Amino acid sequence: MEQQVLGGLINFPQIIVEIDSFFSENDLSHRTHKALYSVLKSIVLSGQKVEKIVLAQKLSDLKIIKFEELDIFTYIEDISFSKIQPNGITDVVKELIKLRIRRDLWD
């Protein structure tokens, strides 16, 4: 689900503005996903155009150069093929928030 949301946000970055008031990187569980969302959000909120190569470079600057066995650019490229649509992104974000609440309660 995290990959779906991040891929969707790469393709529809304007959704970040809509979800910013209730979704944060803390709603994601994987360290790389948290960093990717944070960088993506920073780019969008500063008014810059989202470009995959820029995302990969900024993550590399943070010493995140791989996701599992994939280099970070390939990973970003792969998740950007997500077919999720803008309204679906918001729905999945809400599910991720529920999962984060469950994780918090479990801990």
Q: What is the mean pLDDT of residues 3-24?
A: 97
DSSP letters spanning 46-65? TTPPP-HHHHHHHHHHTT--
Strand partners, 67: 70
Q: What angle do CA 24, 30, 31 make, to 5 degrees?
A: 85
User: Residue 107 has what pLDDT?
Assistant: 79
Q: Token pair of 32, please?
A: 């790389």
User: Residue 50 has what pLDDT?
Assistant: 97
Strand partners, 89: none
Tens digits of residue pLDDT in 62-101: 999 999 999 999 999 999 999 999 999 999 999 999 999 9
Q: What is the residue type of 50?
A: V
Task: Report the percent of the chain where pLDDT is more than 90.
Answer: 98
Residue 94, CB-side half-sphere exposure with 13 Å CA sphere: 5
